[in-house]
Chain A
């Protein structure tokens, strides 16, 4: 017999606690979490990595591996029945059909070896729909979510679509059985801003059409502002605050919520402009780079002054990373010059370049991959001096490593640890300390803060800013996140399809963008303030000539 609760909610999680038993001990992933979701509404669970924001969704979908996971208490009521007391087969029948889920990184979440049409149809055949009907409906769904040439797309594979299209495919799959609830776990995190806006708009439209409840799991206040009715804020496994999205933003009650809102970049006044004078530190002229038939850079010119931060913004495929790699000669362009203090880097011999390498350092997006896992922090940082022995005599290495660790906000005794013993934010600090060990003049940051939580992001940006003031460093700051750029950069270069479409100071770009593409980027960028976001959205809808529903 199953317990029958009378409840007015479509889905309700009550006092849910989940633990994970690992070799390092028991991790309490969530404790006494309670929330509900009604038909037609959008609830956002907001939290940083490790906050447990995805755990209740995994519990709902029966995706927690047990062991190591264990649900120690709680109930999950779906239409009044406790899902945790159902049989595996009953849960399977609900998954996809009644409650569907989409994930971050749709490329990884779609099976690479089956055509997408088949994968969408499988959602329906798994729940008893005949194959032919399912295929016909899959085609309809592809049309509905706006995939171009839907007939041909049915037979294509996930790798043949763009990131935004893949998320549309995931959405098509998720809504195939007309579920009562759609759970979206960071659905737009890996997407470009303009694509993010389209995907969120699609989710909203579909919700209006079907009246489904939408549960959105995100770390992004902007996404909450754009789409959520109510918000649940989570921190280290607990719900710290819950309420109407706009009210929580206006009047946060819990210190953590306040901290999170304060940390959101892109608010307040744009700092005063500094004058550009003297000789540029680095000047690129007519950079061209092709990969086969693809023109990654089509003649790019720009310069960086000493002590200046130049941000390069643009969407994926715009050539911004190619540009970063060309500057530090990781990937030589076919044409053009890069003058560093007047000398052309691209014309230099390997020996000459070797001497200059230490002046130009790079910090990559993913410190997990850019730090050798088998080297201790001490070795990672001191390797710079093994390669360039003239920087520092060996006797002083220990001392300097300790200095650098303090400088980036870590402790000197962490030098003997290995990268896996640190969090993502700490690892990025190690990567920065490693770059600083070279005593560089210019650091190229390729999406260096994109993977970090907002509060960590703020700290890393503050660190970079402090270092700029202390050492007069210059930065080439590659980013897709406009609010961060607004806070940190002096000048902004906007790239699209291998070309610079607009260039100017932060104030010029953010307050008076001239190029339509820059305007579109700014319009699609999400503001953490729900009211600002609502205004921006209605402006966007007006521009697109659509009548808001």
Chain B
């Protein structure tokens, strides 16, 4: 187990280094941030001074060397825009996104598993048809459209929910609700499909021959076996939110990592972009590790 995690960490570390190098140079290709930060009537002197201060005058390779030296000492540089450590900015935003992801995925997982399992028990029944209909619509719904329509209905017309920002429980309802729809549709479909095949398996036949109650057959015999492919999709969907639910965060003005990422790229806030990437990468790494652990927990045949 330890060596498995170790190997994983090394492999992920290598990819992360490559990624950081690529992003560092690519982001510099977008141009000099100076003009974005200084007023349009700034003098050449001021511009030179800004470049000098942030080291944009040095050759790229020197800038990179400096960045790496800082990294080694645990410094991720400062945000140009907020003039404070980039990592602080990122972690703040990440905390918001983490909560968003956790709340959404917990709700999605519970709803999708219960409804998907029940749908699979009577394939083609009324419940199955209704569940499948809505899950397909959910899986196909474009979130930017759903987000805007939700604002129009609940905030603008009904005045029951705030349009954007944070501050109260009510601020979470729309972002979570909109983010919920697509993973719910997808995961419900995977649960249903996986359950259908599990429920037609030989060991379920044995359980029926044993006289086990239907509820136990679905949720004890079926579900644990059906969960393996489901967990993979749950992981993917959670990762998608963690990596920045860019559209939803932007539409709802939610101060998460997706919005931060877009803003930093547009403003060429290089240190923040790189810090976002590193934090996201670490989050994905931990996420994947958790998925692998969940596999081993669910299926005794899987050992690392």
For the A-B complex with A111-B221, A126-B213 known, give 16 more contacts whose Cβ atoms are closer than 8 Å. Answer: A61-B209, A95-B209, A96-B209, A100-B209, A108-B202, A109-B205, A111-B203, A111-B225, A112-B203, A112-B225, A112-B299, A113-B224, A113-B301, A122-B210, A122-B212, A157-B300
CA distance A113 to B203 in the complex (A): 11
A173–B207 Cα distance when bound, in Å, is 11
Instruction: Name 18 interchain pairs, CB-CB below 8 A, sorted by A.
Output: A92-B211, A95-B208, A103-B202, A103-B206, A108-B202, A109-B202, A111-B203, A111-B225, A112-B203, A112-B225, A112-B299, A113-B225, A113-B300, A113-B301, A114-B221, A122-B210, A123-B210, A126-B212
A302 contacts B by Cβ under 8 Å: no
Whether, in the assembled complex, B95 has its beta carbon less than 8 Å from a beta carbon of chain A, the answer is: no
Q: List residues of chain A with CB within 8 A of the CB of B203.
A: 108-112
Ranked 8 nearest A-B pairs via Cβ: A95-B211, A96-B211, A108-B202, A96-B210, A111-B203, A101-B209, A109-B202, A157-B300
Residues of B within 8 A of A332 (CB): none
Q: Tell me whether B301 and A159 are in contact (CB under 8 A).
A: yes
Q: Which residues of B contact A127 (CB under 8 A)?
A: 211
Task: Determine if A353 is an interface residue (Cβ-Cβ < 8 Å).
Answer: no
Asked if residues B212 and A110 are in contact (CB atoms below 8 Å), the reply is no
Chain A, 424-467, CB within 8 A of any chain B CB: none
Q: Which residues of A contact B208 (CB under 8 A)?
A: 61-63, 95
In whole Å, how far is A97's beta carbon from the nearest beta carbon of chain B? 6
Q: Which residues of B contact A101 (CB under 8 A)?
A: 209
| Contact of B201 with A by CB under 8 A | yes
Does A93 touch B at the CB level, under 8 Å? yes
| A99 to chain B: closest residue by CB | B209
Cα A96 to Cα B299 in complex, Å, equals 26
B46 at the interface (CB under 8 A from A): no
For residue B18, CB closer than 8 A to chain A, the reply is no
Is B52 an interface residue when CB atoms closer than 8 A count as contact?
no
Per DSSP, chain A at the interface is loop
Chain A residues close to B by CB (< 8 Å): 61-63, 92-97, 100-101, 103, 105, 108-115, 122-123, 126-127, 157, 159, 170, 173
Q: Report, as a range, how many residues of chain B touch the other chain.
A: 20 to 34
B75 smallest CB distance to A (angstroms) = 47
Contacts of B212 in A (CB 8 A): 96, 122, 126
A110 to B300: give the CA distance in the assembly, Å.
13
B58 CB, min distance to chain A CBs, angstroms: 55
Say whether B298 faces chain A, with CB atoms less than 8 Å apart.
yes
Q: Cβ of B35 < 8 Å from any Cβ of A?
A: no
Q: Find chain A residues with CB under 8 A from B205 CB.
A: 63, 103, 109
The residues of B that contact A114 with a CB separation of less than 8 Å are 221, 224
Closest to B202 in A: A108
B216 at the interface (CB under 8 A from A): yes
Given contacts A63-B205, A111-B225, contact A94 B211 (CB under 8 A): yes
**Bound CA span A126–B225, Å:** 20
Assembly CA distance A155 to B131 (angstroms): 38
Q: Which residues of A contact B206 (CB under 8 A)?
A: 103, 109-111, 170
